[in-house]
Amino acid sequence: MEILDLFLQTSSSVSLLGTIMTLLLVYLVSTFSFSSQEDKKEPPGPRPLPLLENECKQNNICNIYCLFTVYLGPKKVVVLAGYKTVKEALVNYAEEFGERDPMLIMLEVSQGHGVLWSNGESWKKMRRFAFMNLRDYGMGKKACEDKICEEKAFDTTQPVNYVCKFTSLVDRTNRNSQLVGSPSIQVYNLFPWTGRWISNKKKFCKLYEANKKINLELFRRLKETLNPQMCRGFVDAFLVRKQHLEVGNHLHFHNENLLMTVIQLFGAGTETTSTTIRWGLLFMAKYPKIQDQVQEELSRVIGSRQVQVEDRKNLPFTDAVIHETQRLANIIPFSLPHKTSQDVTFQGYFIKKGTTVYPLLTSVLYDESEWEKPYSFYPAHFLDKDGKFVKRDAFLPFSAGRRICLGESLARMELFIFFTTLLQHFRFTPPPGVSEDELDLTAHMGLSLSPSPHKLCAVPCM
């Protein structure tokens, strides 16, 4: 590990924003003045000094304001806090707050292609195409549920080879999720001139290139066996559309957009769901009485048969536990950075076009005016007095507005089927010699918040 990486190591439990603020002690940002345009009131905030984190705490700014300014190094950022503010900005002002402000390292590897870090017409075309085709191939529907649960006989020759490739893709994707949230890469995003001394940047790019190579090989094989009359999935549909549009010289259906869209959908769809399930199992081991209630409900309603998505309506407590896991786990606390597409006056404050905006999802999921016990694992948040499941407006783990998670319906389906099936067959406990109270709920910071390394026992249900 190079010298800058050693210097920048901090506790993994520190939040992304807190980590960045702490790290910026190495850089004196005293040249920026905290002044607004004379005729336009900008969002309030502390002076942009190296001790910004402490000054934010001293001023209690997150509790005083729902809209405020901070400086991440030289970069001016507006933070949206609380359910009402985040919802109003992302939904009622969807166009104004709807652009993405890509992290430097993600912009470098994606070159603005794909659906996650792109903007403009290319983003609109790719998102619309991805959403329509994922829906057509069953996302959120019974056909997709069947694929999730399907078990059948198979010839081991090719599948085993594919499993190895898939596992390597997952491993590299998970590792890069941790790297992109590391302090040293966050510093690189703010100060590109530090790149030559940051070994994590080199590791990230190497892993990303390896995943690109595997995907390109898969695309080549799919293209060789492509049958436009019988599309097998998303890549086939893209290749067919590309063929049909080449005559018209369409700008957006090109190989780079295909590659980046697939990589981004894969990354967003695997790491987040698996992380949420890990939190769910950890909560079950931590709170065995809640696990008892889940398993009693599953036994009474489902028995030993395969759980189906349509069972959700008859499993209100289990559904509440899954929702509470998503709320308290809070795996994407800052959402991904947005950017204003135009000058906008919002809640009486002027925000200039091109300003980076962070919708603070953690402030929505932990909003004390919306949740009775925001910092506790409390499934009753999603139950009425009769024990029936109730939706909550402030439940926004998938964000909201134009940039809401593209795969929300698939993620909800996977979480329900995976979680209920695991709890149907296993009881999760701390390892021998460890009590429930000793299980650590401290989060480990990457691009998402994951549980700290831990072990659990999965005991088969009798």
Q: What is the pLDDT of residues 188-229, one digit of tens each?
A: 999 999 999 999 999 999 999 999 999 999 999 999 999 988
Confidence (pLDDT) at 3:
35
The amino acid at residue 119 is: N
Average pLDDT, the chain: 85
Residue 13 located in a structural domain:
no
Confidence (pLDDT) at 242:
87
The structure tokens listed for 430 are 């701390």
**Binding-site residues for heme:** 405
Residue 84, pLDDT > 80, answer yes
Residue 405 located in a structural domain:
yes
Mean pLDDT of the region 246-271? 85
- Percent of the chain scoring above 90 in pLDDT: 66
Residue 46, pLDDT > 80, answer no
Mean pLDDT of the region 20-48? 52
The structure tokens listed for 230 are 């019988």
The structure tokens listed for 71 are 């400086």
The structure tokens listed for 350 are 């002027």
Mean pLDDT of the region 395-414? 93
Report the Cα 383 to chain-centroid distance in Å: 26
Mean pLDDT of the region 281-288? 97
Expressed as residue numbers, the domain containing 194 is 109-331+372-460
pLDDT tens across 316-373, in order? 999 999 999 999 999 999 889 999 999 999 999 999 999 999 999 999 999 999 999 9
> pTM of the entire structure?
0.86
Mean pLDDT of the region 86-109? 95
Mean pLDDT of the region 60-75? 75
Contact criterion met (CB below 8 Å) for 326 and 340: no
Residue 77, pLDDT > 90, answer yes
Number of domains in the chain: 1
How far is residue 413's CA from residue 309's CA, in Å, rounded to a whole number? 7
Confidence (pLDDT) at 150:
64
Mean pLDDT of the region 384-390? 96
Buried b (16+ CB within 10 A) or exposed e, 192-230: eebbeebebbebbeebbeebeeebeebbeeeeeeeeeee
The structure tokens listed for 274 are 């698996």
pLDDT band of residue 22 (cuts 50, 70, 90) is very low
pLDDT tens across 153-175, in order? 556 565 666 667 788 999 999 99
Residue 349 located in a structural domain:
no
Residue 90 located in a structural domain:
no
Residue 280 located in a structural domain:
yes
CATH code of the domain in which 382 resides: 1.10.630.10
**Binding-site residues:** 405
The structure tokens listed for 86 are 């985040």
The full DSSP string for 82-141 is: SHHHHHIIIIITTTTT-EE---HHHHHHHTT-SSSS--HHHHHHHHHHHHHHHHHTTTTS
